[in-house]
């Protein structure tokens, strides 16, 4: 692949979004939306509970939740597509702002005190169960929930406050049966559960809560970054639009099944959409997402398969030029430490950056896309020293396109395919917001198609999301060595000059992988470049302590420095063949 295979564009993004949000379709605080759920839910282990017959009785005792479009038979993906088409053909109707005052006034801690009673969980076969999230605090919007049995019509899951311990802040309060829910979480009996857990115990592994956000983890991992159904206008001057999942149908699996399907309906001022999530928890967990998008208007910038994460500081500090250091006992604080992008025969690694004076968008062209992901490559506790957060156990997410044309439900849905699929041509865009707060999600990555979505012209897409822990992993394509660390320091300390030149920087970039040569005399060379300034005396050397290889290279900046980032690149070659992914970093 040529050097311009990953074509880059730089720009300015909107203001920070770390304030509590208004209740509309724009600008919710990413981390406050997600961490509220995670703190109350993450890592919980509960036994399986009531069966579907009990759920039916519960629904009959309370007023039913209205069905967006009643169906006589089972809800299918095609049925959700039909609902999305009907929504898109009509003007957008904003959800009612009908949250009772006592719930709207809850503090963060007050909302956390609302606890779903585990004994009331909805059993889904032998291996799965579902628990529900109450509305309140920032979770103002109602999400309709249904159980779709293996045959017959879907059954609404009705609100009943007896499902919850409402906590001391809501003592004595009574809420109407049409209050509904904010979202749900799924629990699973992992096949390799530790022996100290009783048989049948289930661990939470997936949360749908807030806008179109969802969080997935693999066995043994902690919640970290989030995924979303769709991103609209990320970084645009007019602000970002946040679509909502307005309804979910949880499909009852076969009794012994270890996979589960969820159907979801998405709505927003600009678009409606139908989603099918085929979920296989484990180590790793995998989710195949099939979607049909129906724009109400032209969408010039839409992010497909978006991922959202947090990066505060890492092994080379915040990363941006002249950034203020963090006064923190922890060496690193992040849920993800880099973006990986695969296109053609090349794979790129971009270390994440914090500390710029303003948000920035970087774009990496891919035609076609093979995959991308936000990853947490540093898996060593000593790199973080945070006993509670366990950043070393946070998952990465890898997105891999699936041919939509090969999925029969997409053909039946009637959406017009793009030549080569939705991921055929475009760019992976990385949006980095400067942040000093750990609770803020300040990183977004998504694939943005090269051509806009037109009103009235559906787009179909399918992709697979895989949780990533320690690498190497089969989820990432190719056998290229991966970048495992980037460290930066003064070049004066190792290569002093007279007079001293403190602006000179020395980069040490470590690569590891099973296919790297063990022979220290192997003809391995460093291939480096810079968009401005000069890369001086690159050296590729083995690292016996790790079995990897390191590139040492000095960067001498130009005078004066250009505005924005200078992009440095490096990879390893052996006998003219590329043997590593491409390190791509701002200076």
Label residue 409 exposed, middle or buried (CB < 10 Å: 0-12, 13-18, 19+).
middle
Which of 472, 469, 483 shows the shortest CA–CA distance to 391? 469
In whole angstroms, give the CA distance from residue 345 to residue 342: 8
Residue that terminates a domain, selected from 434, 468, 502: 468
The pTM for the full model equals: 0.87
Residues 446 and 515 in one domain: no
Which of 364, 308, 293, 347 shows the shortest CA–CA distance to 88? 293
Residues 318 and 213 in one domain: yes
- Do the domain assignments include residue 454? yes
Residues 273 and 415 in one domain: yes
Domain count, the chain: 2
Check which CATH number belongs to the domain holding 522 and give it. 2.60.40.10
Positions of the chain with pLDDT under 50: 1-67, 405-406, 410-416
Count CA atoms within 13 Å of residue 406 on its CB side.
6
Check which CATH number belongs to the domain holding 426 and give it. 2.70.98.10
Residues 349 and 455 in one domain: yes
In whole angstroms, give the CA distance from residue 303 to residue 307: 9
Range(s) of the domain holding residue 342: 3-468
Residue that terminates a domain, selected from 468, 490, 517: 468
CB of 313 closer than 8 Å to CB of 278: no
pLDDT value at position 70? 53
pLDDT tens sequence across 369-412: 999 999 999 999 999 999 999 999 999 999 999 975 445 554 44
Which of 12, 3, 2, 43 shows the shortest CA–CA distance to 390? 43
Residues 462 and 488 in one domain: no
Residues 373 and 521 in one domain: no
- Do the domain assignments include residue 403? yes
Residue that terminates a domain, selected from 415, 440, 468: 468
- Do the domain assignments include residue 351? yes
- Do the domain assignments include residue 473? no
Residues 434 and 508 in one domain: no
Which of 246, 243, 114 shows the shortest CA–CA distance to 183? 246
- Do the domain assignments include residue 334? yes
- Do the domain assignments include residue 477? no
Residues 380 and 500 in one domain: no
pLDDT value at position 397? 98
CB of 276 closer than 8 Å to CB of 462: no
3-state secondary structure of 57: helix
Residues 195 and 283 in one domain: yes
3-state secondary structure 342-405: EECCEEEEEECCECCCCCEEEEEEECCEEEEEEECCCCCHHHCCCCCCCHHHCCEEEEEECCHH
pLDDT value at position 336? 98
């Amino acid at each position: 692949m040529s050097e311009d295979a990953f074509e880059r564009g730089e720009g300015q993004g909107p203001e920070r979004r770390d304030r509590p949000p208004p209740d509309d379709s724009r600008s919710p605080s990413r981390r406050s939306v997600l961490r509220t759920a995670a703190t109350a839910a993450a890592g919980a282990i509960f036994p399986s509970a009531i069966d579907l017959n009990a759920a039916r009785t519960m629904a009959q005792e309370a007023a039913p939740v209205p069905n967006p479009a009643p169906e006589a038979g089972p809800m299918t993906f095609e049925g959700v597509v039909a609902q999305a088409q009907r929504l898109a053909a009509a003007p957008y109707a904003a959800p009612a702002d009908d949250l009772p005052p006592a719930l709207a006034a809850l503090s963060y801690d007050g909302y956390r005190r609302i606890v779903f009673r585990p004994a009331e969980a909805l059993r889904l076969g032998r291996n799965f169960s579902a628990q529900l999230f109450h509305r309140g605090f920032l979770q103002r919007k109602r999400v309709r929930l249904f159980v779709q049995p293996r045959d017959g019509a879907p059954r609404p899951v009705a609100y009943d406050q007896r499902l919850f311990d409402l906590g001391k802040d809501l003592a004595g309060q009574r809420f109407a049966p049409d209050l509904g829910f904010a979202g749900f979480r799924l629990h699973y009996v992992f096949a390799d559960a530790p022996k100290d857990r009783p048989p049948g115990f289930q661990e939470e592994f997936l949360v749908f809560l807030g806008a179109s956000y969802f969080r997935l983890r693999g066995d043994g991992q902690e919640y970290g970054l989030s995924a979303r159904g769709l991103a609209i206008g990320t970084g645009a001057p007019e602000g970002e639009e946040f679509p909502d999942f307005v309804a979910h149908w949880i499909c009852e699996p076969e009794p012994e099944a270890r996979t589960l399907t969820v159907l979801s309906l998405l709505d927003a001022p600009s678009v409606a959409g139908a989603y099918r999530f085929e979920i296989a928890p484990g180590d790793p967990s995998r989710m195949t997402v099939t979607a049909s998008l129906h724009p109400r208007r032209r969408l010039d910038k839409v992010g497909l398969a978006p991922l959202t994460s947090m990066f505060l500081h890492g092994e080379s500090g915040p990363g941006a030029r002249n950034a203020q250091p963090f006064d923190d006992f922890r060496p690193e604080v992040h849920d993800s430490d880099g973006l990986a992008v695969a296109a053609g025969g090349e794979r790129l690694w971009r270390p994440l950056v914090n500390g710029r004076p303003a948000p920035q968008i970087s774009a990496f062209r891919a035609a076609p896309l093979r995959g991308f992901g936000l990853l947490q490559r540093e898996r060593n506790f000593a790199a973080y020293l945070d006993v509670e957060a366990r950043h070393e156990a946070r998952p990465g997410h890898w997105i891999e396109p699936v041919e939509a044309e090969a999925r029969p439900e997409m053909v039946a849905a009637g959406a017009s395919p793009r030549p080569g699929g939705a991921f055929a041509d475009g760019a992976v865009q990385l949006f980095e917001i400067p942040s000093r707060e750990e609770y803020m999600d300040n990183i977004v990555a998504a694939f943005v198609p090269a051509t806009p979505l037109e009103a009235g012209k559906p787009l179909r897409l399918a992709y697979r999301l895989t949780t990533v822990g320690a690498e190497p992993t089969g989820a990432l394509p190719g056998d290229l060595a991966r970048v495992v660390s980037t460290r930066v320091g003064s070049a004066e300390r190792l290569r002093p000059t007279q007079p001293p030149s403190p602006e000179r920087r020395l980069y040490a970039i470590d690569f590891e992988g099973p296919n790297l040569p063990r022979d220290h005399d192997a003809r391995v060379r460093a291939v480096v470049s810079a968009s401005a300034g000069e890369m001086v005396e690159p050296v590729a050397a083995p690292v016996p302590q790790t079995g990897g290889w390191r590139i040492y290279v000095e960067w001498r900046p130009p005078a004066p420095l250009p505005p924005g980032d200078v992009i440095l690149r490096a990879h390893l070659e052996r006998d003219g063949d590329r043997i590593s992914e491409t390190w791509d970093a701002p200076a």
